[in-house]
Amino acid sequence: MEAVVITGVGMISPVGTGKENFWKGLIEGQDGIEEITAFDTAPFRSKKGGLVKGFNPKAFIPSLKIRRLDRASQFAIAASRMALEDAGLTIGENIIPERTGIILGSGFCGVVNSEAFHRGQVLRGPGDLNPILFPNTVPNAAASNVAIELGIKGPNSTVVQSFCTAEAAFLFACQQLIAQKADIMVTGGVDELSTILYRGWNELRLTAWDKGEGEKSAPYDLTRNGFIPGEGAGIMILEQRNNALRRKARIYAQVRACTTTGGATQPEKKVAHSIASALKRGGMQTVDFIDGAGNSSPRLDTVEAEGLRLAIPPHVRDIPISSIKSMLGEGIASGGIRLAADLLIMEQGVIPPTINYEYPDPLCSLRIVREEFKTTVRTILHTGISLDGTYMAILLGRTDGVS
Amino acid sequence: MTSLYKGKVMRDNKGAVITGMGVICATGNNATEFLASLEEGKRGITEISLFDCSGYASQMAAQIKGYDPLDFFDKKELRRLSRVDQFVLIAAQEAFDDAGVRNTTVNGEHIGVCLGVGAGGMLSAEGYHRQLLNGKRPRPSLLLPFVPSYATDQLAEKFGLQGPRTTITTACSSSATSLAYGAELILLGEAEVMVCGGGEALSELTFGGFCSLQVMDPFPCRPFDARRQGLSLGEGAAVLILEEKERALGRGAHIYGELLGYSIGGEAFHITAPEETGKEEARIMREALQDAGIRPQEVDYINAHGTGTILNDQVETLAIKAVWGEEAYQTPVSSTKSMIGHCLGAAGGLEAAASLLAMQHQLIAPTAGFERGDEVCDLDYVPQAREDEVAIVLSNSFAFGGNCTTLIFGKENL
């Protein structure tokens, strides 16, 4: 795994688009979550979402093409362009299209089109179907549209794995590099929040709502009662280490380990197992920062905290942990934006806050960061948790010997 | 697998072999019936009874008929299982029984699962959506199977698998890619056993969708035939147990074949149409052959994507000609979609099963219903099942978005 390094990032998020805006939003503790006006939330218990605001696709995509691309594809193209530019790469110029791949995690991409197409079927019948919609109902439309737009011809895939969707795509991409199937891999996650998806999360009673304390994303807080659905895209450029060194690329981090454990029963132990295996593989006892998967769900945050305590017993209370989902909300592929954030945290040496953390939950008693602070961050543990039975741990480390 | 590029990687010392198979589709409820149907050239494409499709350009699909879920699951289980999840679990049970890896020395920890799905739980979600649009209050649990990883999680939980979990969602190439990635996880030492393949259930959305694109044949599809008018959809599941080669040999397991190489390239051309000269598909087949260390001439049988659409069959044929040259005419090419329809998310897995059965039984499945080709489609499309030496098979799966997967199976050195 150490042959894989990360040399570029790009993101579209509720707290800002692009590296500078996003970073500023994160360390200022900007709340990207607000009352939804883009669609009617009257039928639902929840009212808020982490929607991307002020996104201008024209800055990234030729105008004529924009209208043929759904929002998820637009996010993916824009973030991928930013990430490649950040890495100093131009496909066809300094990288070979066939040796460049893309594997994205798809957070219900295409569902908007499925809903619209099926609505037509139900309400208007088979005689009047819109053929433009159907091809973009597939979850792989976003990655494919990026490949088409940017000319990526290497390994191409799309992954969904519940709330570990982006982490699973990241692992797949790493392994295509290790198997030497490509020199460069574009990876990450894309989420699109739509009214039908918002309905689904509400129907399944998973979202936060105002029980008197307000509707908020409050990871690890005693008053948390669900997550806030969010959207956006976080894309990374993975590269073979030798390739990056040869072209003197700026290296954000190397992937020290990426592990996965399965099983819905005894989730705390499985979380611990994924983390302990990652630390073991990375040859490490502890880390400088934990990017937590805590998403303000009553159970998930507790499971994560207990898993961390089991995996890193003597050190865990010394390690700062933050969940930026407090500002962004949750999408099943939001691990992409989080990974992008991890690289900036490492580069800038500043740990962003977990906002809305007011009443500590004794079951989540970790060193939760309330205010941003400067420190040296050489290593980061990124956790991914799906209580449906997937647990992932990604260990990132600096390569420039900063200590 | 041999790498084109120098460098010592662990994968060169390992192999991924298939030791278990489970199948359910329109022409067979298990692998044995499936094999018999391939031999017979049995066509499972008939009028759909699963939902009303009067008014559409076609009423045909390879639906699994005479299926009663209560034969396999109790009512309580069924509340949380959509049709595709049921198919996947049925095929998985058969595959585990066949491989005999359950309750052996393998620790569940080392068994992972990587499935490919297409529309997933769409049929259930459609039920929800239809009721909603009709002003009713649908049952929220109908939405549970909608996340594409649902079937993967159901399978993993039922069999207690604690290894890596991933769900591939690249439409028609999903389950082919699941095999490629499953094999890679074994070659890189991330798992000893991977449960791969995929499932698909017919749904009104995909049915109407393909109709809206005017690529649905009103008759049962006729891949590569001059009269072809489009595809026929199908449904089912195929689950294959992939295992590290030494481990399988060590326990004396029955081995169907080895996944020798693959490519999961992208065409980067168009969201639905293939690059029309076939050069991208040809490139991807070449990449897979190189990965396997196999020369085109060594391939005994090509299990084609062969959907039956005018464009697909033409471009795939051109691509085969580009890779094989004159040898293309001596290489049997067939499409099992002529019998089981296009099973989208399950297609690659079912075709991998057909490819492995071809090696095991020296039997090339036919392109059923094929009578005569056209100016471009003039290869040997195997109108009837044929007994022949089959040691190496190439299987293609091409998808929306230009997600092209080619798998190479072999049975040498086993």
Q: Is A307 left (phi over 0), alpha (psi -120 to 50) or beta?
A: alpha
Confidence of residue B8 (pLDDT cuts 50, 70, 90): very low
Q: What is the pLDDT of residue B412?
A: 78
* Residue B32 pLDDT > 90: yes
Buried-state track B62-72, b at ≥16 Cβ within 10 A, e below 16? bbbeebeeeeb
pLDDT of A348 higher than 80: yes
Query: One fold for both A4-246 and A256-397?
Result: yes
Q: Is the model's pLDDT at B68 over the cut of 60?
A: yes
Instruction: For chain B, give the mean pLDDT.
Output: 94
Residue A401: the pLDDT is: 65
CB contact under 8 A, B129 and A264: no
pLDDT of residue A347 exceeding 90, the answer is: yes
Could you say which DSSP state residue B160 is in? T
Identify all chain B residues contacting A44, using CB atoms and an 8 Å cutoff: none
Encoded tokens for A52: 């991307």
- When CB atoms are compared, the residue of B55, B164, B268 closest to A153 is B268
In whole numbers, what is the pLDDT of chain A averaged over residues? 96
Angle (nearest 5°) at CA A249 between A245 and A252: 100
Q: A13 in contact with B at a CB cutoff of 8 Å? A: no
Across B161-166, average pLDDT: 94
Residues 6 or more apart whose Cβ sits within 8 Å of residue B27: B33, B34, B37, B38, B42, B43, B44, B62, B339, B340
- Are A106 and B169 an interchain contact pair (Cβ–Cβ within 8 Å)? yes
Average pLDDT over residues B258-272: 95
Residue A199, strand partner residues? none
CATH number of A4-246: 3.40.47.10
A101 touches chain B (CB under 8 A): yes
Q: What is the pLDDT of residues A182-239, one digit of tens each?
A: 999 999 999 999 999 999 999 999 999 999 999 999 999 999 999 999 999 999 999 9
Closest-CA residue of B relative to A258 is B190
Q: For chain A, say whether B281 makes contact (Cβ under 8 Å).
A: no
Burial A144-177 (b: 16+ CB within 10 A, else e): bbbbbbbebbbbbbbbbbbbbbbbbbbbbbbbbb
Optimal mutation site among A73, A159, A197, A273, interface B, most CBs of chain B within 10 A: A159
- The residue type of A142 is A
- The pLDDT confidence band at residue B104, using thresholds 50, 70 and 90, is very low
Question: Which one of A121, A150, A157 has the shortest CB-CB distance to B177?
Answer: A157
Provide the pLDDT for residue B101: 79
Determine the pLDDT at residue B4: 34
B-contacting residues of A 249-268, CB under 8 Å?
260-264
Per-residue confidence (pLDDT) for residue B262, from 0 to 100: 98
Kindly tell me if the per-residue pLDDT of A149 is higher than 60.
yes
Average pLDDT over residues B18-24: 98
Total structural domains within chain B: 1
Whether residue B1 is predicted with pLDDT greater than 60 in this model: the reply is no
B172 as an active site residue: the answer is: yes
Residue type, A312: I
In-domain check, residue B1: no
Whether B168 sits inside 8 A of A159 (CB atoms) is yes
Q: Are B388 and B332 in contact (CB under 8 A)?
A: yes
State mean pLDDT over B178-207: 96
User: CA-nearest residue of chain A to B111?
Assistant: A262
Mean pLDDT of A160-179: 98
Mean pLDDT confidence for B294-298: 97
| Strand partners of residue B395 | B303, B407
Query: Which pLDDT band holds residue A127 (cuts at 50, 70, 90)?
Result: confident
CA distances to A101, A153, B265 from B165, in Å = 21, 26, 22
Tens digit of each residue's pLDDT (9 = 90 or more) over A256-305: 999 999 999 999 999 999 999 999 999 999 999 999 999 999 999 999 99
* Angle, in degrees to the nearest 10, between helices B279-292 and B310-324: 50
Q: For position B13, what pLDDT does the model report?
A: 82
Q: Domain A256-397 falls in which CATH fold?
A: Peroxisomal Thiolase; Chain A, domain 1 (3.40.47)
pLDDT in tens, A31-53: 999 999 999 999 999 999 999 99
Cα of A22 to nearest chain B Cα, Å: 29
Q: What are phi and psi of A171, to 5 degrees?
A: -65, -45
| Mutation target among B162, B173, B175 for the A interface, most CBs of A within 10 A | B162
Helices A141-150, A71-86: crossing angle, 10 deg rounding:
50
Q: Indicate whether this model's pTM tops 0.95.
A: yes
Whether residues B266 and A152 touch (CB distance < 8 A) is answered with: yes
Spell out where B10-147 has E strands: 16-25, 46-47, 60-62, 111-117
Contact check, Cβ <8 Å, B168/A157: yes
Q: Establish whether this prediction's ipTM goes over 0.85.
A: yes
Answer whether B266 sits within 8 Å of A147, measured CB to CB: yes
Between chains, do A263 and B144 touch, taking CB under 8 Å as contact? Answer: no
Q: Would you state the pLDDT for residue B11?
A: 66
What's the mean pLDDT in B303-323? Answer: 98
SS3 label, residue B244: strand
The CA–CA distances, whole Å, from B342 to A168, A172, A260, B199, B268 equal 27, 27, 33, 12, 23
Residues B297-316, mean pLDDT to the nearest whole number = 98
Structure token digits, residue A356: 């809305």
- Residue A11 CA, chain-centre distance (Å), reads 10
Contact (CB<8Å) B153/A270? no
Domain coverage including residue B31: 10-410
pLDDT, residue B414, reads: 74
pLDDT at B9: 53
* Active-site annotation holder among B53, B110, B342, B343: B342
Whether A139 sits inside 8 A of B213 (CB atoms) is no
Q: Which pLDDT band, with edges at 50, 70 and 90, does B109 fall under? A: low
Decide if A117 touches B, using CB distance below 8 A: yes
For residue B203, give the nearest of B354, B83, B23 by alpha carbon.
B83
Catalytic one among B25, B53, B114, B172? B172
Taking the domains of chain A in order of start, what are their residue ranges? 4-246, 256-397
- DSSP H/E element including B76: helix B75-78
Residue among B9, B53, B153 whose CB faces A180 most closely:
B9
Whether residue B109 contacts residue B29, with contact meaning beta carbons closer than 8 Å, is answered with no
Residue A128 CB-density burial (10 A; 0-12 exposed, 13-18 middle, 19+ buried): exposed
Mean pLDDT of B287-316: 97
Kindly write down the DSSP assignment for every residue of B22-60, as one continuous string. Answer: EEEETTBSSHHHHHHHHHHT----EE--SS--TTSS--E
What band does B103 get if pLDDT is binned at 50, 70 and 90?
very low
Which pLDDT value is given to residue B106?
52
Q: Percent of chain A, pLDDT > 70?
A: 99
Of A147, A172, A200, the CB nearest to B181: A172
Of A102, A122, A389, the CB nearest to B157: A389
Q: How far apart are the first and last CA of chain B?
A: 14
- What is the least distance, in Å, from the CA of A290 to any CA of chain B? 22
For residues B56 and A305, give the distance between their C-alpha atoms in angstroms, rounded to a whole number.
53
Task: Tell if the CB–CB gap between A156 and B271 is shorter than 8 Å.
Answer: no
Residues in CB range of B251: below 8 A, 6 or more apart:
B104
Using one digit for the tens of pLDDT, what is the confidence trace for B208-230? Answer: 999 999 999 999 999 999 999 99
* CATH at residue B275: 3.40.47.10
- Per-residue pLDDT tens for A264-278? 999 999 999 999 999
